[in-house]
Amino acid sequence: MTHPLSALGVLHTAISLIPVFAGLYGFVRHRKIDPATGAGKLYLVGLVLAVATSFTVPSTGGLNPGHAFGIVVLLVAFGGVLVNRIGFLGRLRPYLSAFALSFSFLLGLVPAVNESLTRLPVSHPLAAAPMAPVVLQTLLGCFVVFLIGITAQGWMIHARNRRME
């Protein structure tokens, strides 16, 4: 039996869709999550709001590993933004930034996939638990897409750098 969402849970879920759609738009439009674009800014703001609203969802009555995971996702995402300001990294900066922002997107999909597959469809969810095979297989698929995507991003950064030489 699924656990019903509270009003705060519904609000958190709606807000959590912002970084998913903004990130997807960024990947399609710009081939990356770029903090200099509107989609990139919306991704970061949505991510902060999603993590902040996760603290209002009374699932366990206190801090839980999901909250810590959300903070890690924020640290990875904002690390991807700040790495561009670290001069001694030189040519690695765009690669590290793309990796961190894409990785934060992948990490954000973990709770999204878990919650979606264990709650939907409402009458008979696809997964009975977070470690159900369908959840793990979906996350593995997301990881494979991430690997392909980050490889493509690295290739594009390299090609752009060679053109600029």
pLDDT at 85: 92
Given a cut of 70, whether residue 61 has pLDDT beyond it is: no
Q: What band does 58 get if pLDDT is binned at 50, 70 and 90? A: low
Task: Report the 10 Å Cβ neighbour count for 157.
Answer: 18
Q: Percentages helix, strand, coil for the chain, rounded to the nearest 5?
A: 75, 0, 25
Is 123 a residue whose pLDDT tops 80? yes
Rg of the Cα atoms in the chain: 17
Query: Residue 21 is encoded by which pair of tokens?
Result: 């759609």
Q: State how far the Cα of 53 lies from the Cα of 19, in Å rounded to an integer.
A: 13
Longest dimension (CA), the chain: 60
Spatial separation of the C-alpha atoms in residues 10 and 67, rounded to whole Å: 17
- Computed over every residue of the chain, the mean pLDDT equals 92
- Residue spans per domain, the chain: 7-164
Q: How remote is the C-alpha of 139 from its chain's centroid?
A: 12
Query: Could you tell me the pTM of the whole model?
Result: 0.92
- What's the pLDDT tens digit per position in 78-107? 999 999 999 999 999 999 999 999 999 999
